[in-house]
Structures are given as C-alpha cells and as structure tokens.
C-alpha cells in the first residue's frame, strides 16, 4: 500500500502562527453575529420534547425517527465528537472554543447550558435532546448573512415561533408567526459551517442558493418537510398544508435511492476478443436541490462501479477513463493511505493513516477532498486548511464518464452484460473500522444502477 504523504506526524504539529490563525478565525470568523449564546441559558429553562409529545404525538414521532433527534446521540456523532474532536482539543488547547462550538448545532441546549464537554449520551441528560422542538421553535432570527455556525437567535420561554399563518392558537403556549420559518436561511443556521481556517466545510444552504431550485422558489422544506393534510396537534383540526417533520436525508436509504439517474451504453454492439469497446455512463442529479453528496462531505463517498459479466459468468472490473483535470487523482479510487491527522487525537505518533477510499481501485468517486494544514487528506472538518477539487453532482447537473474496455481474449462468446452501479456510503469504511464505528454507518447504499449488453463474437 502506497503512502503518498512522507512527512512524519508530530503531535505538536501546529505552529504558533497557526494557533494565532485559529484564535483569530474563531474570534472574527466564527462569531461575527450579534449575540453569543454559549453558556447563556441553563437546561432548566427549556422543555423536553416529551412534553411537546403530549399535544403533538404525530409530529413528535416523525421527529424522533429523524437525525434531528439523534444529532448528539447517534453513534458516529458521539465517536467523532469525543474520540476525535474533544481529544484533538486536549492535544491542541488553542482549538478548544472551536470544538465547543460543535455543540451549537448538534446539541444546542447543551451549548447554551455551557458545560463542556456535555455529558455522554449514556448519562441521559438534556444534551440528548439534540435538535429538539424547543431549539427550532424558539428561534426568532438568524444573526448572520449568510447564516452559518449556529447563527440562530434563541430566547427560552412560553412563546413558540412557527411559519403558520397568524391566528393559530394553543392552550399550552403562545404562538407567534415568524417569516424566518419560511426561508432556507433558517436551515442555513446549522447546515452551513465555516471552520477556523475560513473553509466552508458545510455549505448545503449556500449550494441551494446558487442552484436552480432557489430561483424557482423550491425550499429545503419542500423536500425535507413536505406539505400534507395532517393533524399537527390533538386539539386542532387537520391542516391541508401541514409541514411533516420527517427531515429525511442522507441517512435514509429511501431518500438516497434514485437521487442520481444513470444510463450506460456501448459504442458498438458486437466485438471480437481483444477489441476495444467504450462504455459511456451518463449521471444526472434529478432529485437534490444541493450538491450530492452534501453536508459532511469529508465523511461521504459516492462512487461509480462498472462490471462486465460474460456468457460463462466470469466478471471483469472496468476502470474509469481519466479526464485530466487538476485534482483528479482524488476522484479515482486507488491504494493510498490518508487521514494521518487522526493520529493527533488518537495519540499515535507517526501515524501512517488508513486506506483512503476503502473500495476497489479504478472507480470514479464523486467527492470534494478536505486537506489538513500539512496537505494530507482529512476527515476532521475543524482541521481542514484547504478544499480540493469539487467533483460532486450539482442540482440538475449531468456528468459523463467513459470506460474503455479491451475485451479479454478468454472472454466467452455470446452475450456480455455490463452493469453500472452508483454506490454511497455515509462514512469511508476504513475510517469506520479504525474508529470502531458500528457497521451501519459504512453500509453500502445503492443509489441507482443500469445495465447494457454487447455480443462477443466467436
């Protein structure tokens, strides 16, 4: 296995200049908005979502099955925060405030409670509320433009805010309509993130704003909180246009399936052994209003695998043709080591890294690599000093990939089936294995597939 980065990992790798940059970026980049909510409100000033459940059981059950309710308790989020982020802050105290800021979106109640790190999920405190009913329905405004890094303005109390038309009433609390709830800026409070190096390490709402759906007025809500006739509260009548609190996204196989349409075709239909056949695969992002993958793209891997099966069942793997663009080497799977900076929080001196892609070599990967201050590919967004080539699929974008295949001389005559499969993993498997993340986080989700045939002449 090749290690393309030769520098040894030194635990005290961050220079005084970089530490200064981190502190400066945090002071002037992370918190440029009006009010710092860190440590401002204790847990006792907020209600548990279980109380909301008594009047809103259906909405509660939808939320409880979503990642919103697990943003702090989900196994990978716990491992990433405690085993990487917190441990990194222990090794490099200059980034302590940055790491505390993770909680501003993953468990806002704990962030406002102000005790860091918050208790582990096993301690079953209010930190486990994650992104709860109170978090969203106490937001009055966003405090930055564009919104990013928990830029919401929250004040606890018995006044709850929503996007419903004025006149909606509740016996349990006051309801005030806020226009912010009908904007994507509401989502951008946490679905945009700028790190201490000034890198947009999450930019889902910005991607939407720059894409075709923004111009047409199709909001985040329209896909992730679809309208339906639904009973929001037990004491109310069903609304014809209630917003379902599904929040289904990248963790939902049903949402992922069919996101990208693809078709494969050969340049010729009949060929002899030894002859070249070029297979063209067209991939069209028909479904997302942002790029795919989006969000934690440093974790995600989306790749196109093409295999041919001859008349006797022998399988051949096809390698993608290179296009020659800068940074392409990070978009074709290979036998490389990466993520060496995980050695800092794991306290492994001169850590060699783990396998970069964790998939067969020669596949096209649709990703944007993140690089640490030493130029090594990283999984730690807070330690990302540079972004690589963005080879993801934008909304309504089509990418075309070619696979030139020299038919093997021993290929069986007759029909050869060639199948293109687009696969998706939430977390690169080699990283998941190294950090002992439960297997479901690196399970392969099939996004789409398509097959074609050629005839091999005798």
Q: What is the pLDDT of residue 165?
A: 81
pLDDT over 50 (residue 68): yes
Residues 15-55: tens digit of each pLDDT = 434 443 444 444 334 444 468 999 999 999 999 999 999 99
Q: Is the pLDDT of residue 9 over 80?
A: no
Closest-CA residue to 418 (of 276, 303, 265): 265
Share of the chain above pLDDT 70, in %: 93
Residue 166: what pLDDT? 78
Is the pLDDT assigned to residue 96 strictly greater than 50?
Answer: yes
More confident site: 121 or 16: 121
pLDDT mean over 288-307: 98
Q: Report in angstroms the alpha-carbon separations of 423 from 363, 384, 434.
A: 11, 26, 21
pLDDT at 77 over 50: yes
Question: What mean pLDDT, rounded, does the chain reach?
Answer: 93
Q: Among 197, 221, 205, 233, which Cα is nearest to 58's?
A: 233
Task: Give pLDDT, residue 167.
Answer: 75
pLDDT at 151 over 70: yes
Percent of the chain with pLDDT over 90: 90
Q: Is the pLDDT of residue 281 over 70?
A: yes
Mean pLDDT of 344-353: 97
Q: Is the peptide bond before 293 cis (omega within 30 degrees of 0)?
A: yes
- For residue range 311-325, list pLDDT tens digits in order: 999 999 999 999 999
pLDDT at res. 34 = 60
Span 186-199, average pLDDT:
98
Over 50: is that where the pLDDT of 6 sits?
no
pLDDT computed for residue 190 by the predictor: 98
pLDDT at 168 exceeding the cut of 90? no
The radius of gyration of the chain from alpha carbons, rounded to an integer in Å, stands at 24
Output the pLDDT for position 19. 43
Residue range 176-197: mean pLDDT, rounded: 97
């Amino acid at each position: 296995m090749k290690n393309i980065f030769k520098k040894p990992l030194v635990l005290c790798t961050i220079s005084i200049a970089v530490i200064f940059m981190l502190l400066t970026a945090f002071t002037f980049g992370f918190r440029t908005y009006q009010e710092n909510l860190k440590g401002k409100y204790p847990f006792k000033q907020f209600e548990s979502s279980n109380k909301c459940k008594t009047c809103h059981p259906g909405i509660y059950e939808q939320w409880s099955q979503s990642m919103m309710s697990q943003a702090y308790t989900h196994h990978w989020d716990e491992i990433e925060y405690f085993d990487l982020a917190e441990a990194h802050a222990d090794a490099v105290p200059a980034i302590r405030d940055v790491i505390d800021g993770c909680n501003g979106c993953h468990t806002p109640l704990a962030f406002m409670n102000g005790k860091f790190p918050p208790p582990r999920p096993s301690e079953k405190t209010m930190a486990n509320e994650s992104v709860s009913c109170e978090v969203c329905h106490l937001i009055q405004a966003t405090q930055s433009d564009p919104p990013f890094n928990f830029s919401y303005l929250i004040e606890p109390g018995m006044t709850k805010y929503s996007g419903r038309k004025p006149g909606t009433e509740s016996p349990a609390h006051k309801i005030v309509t806020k226009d912010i709830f009908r904007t994507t800026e509401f989502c951008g409070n946490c679905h945009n993130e700028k790190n201490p190096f000034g890198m947009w390490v999450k930019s889902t709402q910005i991607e939407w704003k720059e894409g075709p759906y923004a111009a047409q007025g199709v909001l985040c809500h329209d896909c992730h909180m679809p309208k339906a006739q639904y009973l929001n509260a037990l004491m109310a009548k069903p609304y014809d246009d209630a917003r379902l609190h599904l929040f289904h996204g990248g963790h939902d196989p049903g949402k992922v399936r069919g996101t990208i349409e693809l078709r494969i075709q050969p340049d010729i239909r009949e060929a002899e052994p030894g002859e070249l056949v070029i297979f063209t695969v067209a991939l069209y992002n028909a479904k997302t209003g942002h790029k795919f993958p989006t969000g934690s793209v440093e974790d995600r891997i989306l790749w196109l695998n093409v295999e041919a099966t001859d008349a006797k069942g022998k399988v051949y793997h096809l390698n993608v043709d290179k296009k020659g663009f800068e940074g392409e080497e990070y978009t074709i799977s290979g036998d490389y080591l990466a993520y060496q900076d995980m050695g800092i929080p794991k306290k492994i001196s001169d850590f060699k890294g783990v396998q970069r892609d964790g998939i067969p070599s020669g596949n096209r990967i649709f990703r944007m690599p993140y690089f640490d201050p030493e130029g090594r590919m990283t999984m730690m967004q807070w330690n990302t000093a540079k972004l690589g080539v963005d080879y993801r699929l934008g909304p309504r974008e089509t990418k075309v990939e070619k696979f030139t295949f020299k038919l093997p001389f021993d290929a069986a005559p007759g029909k050869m089936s060639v199948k293109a499969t687009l696969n998706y993993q939430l977390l690169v498997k080699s990283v998941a294995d190294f950090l002992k993340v439960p297997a479901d986080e690196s399970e392969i989700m099939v996004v789409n597939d398509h097959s074609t045939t050629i005839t091999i002449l005798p």
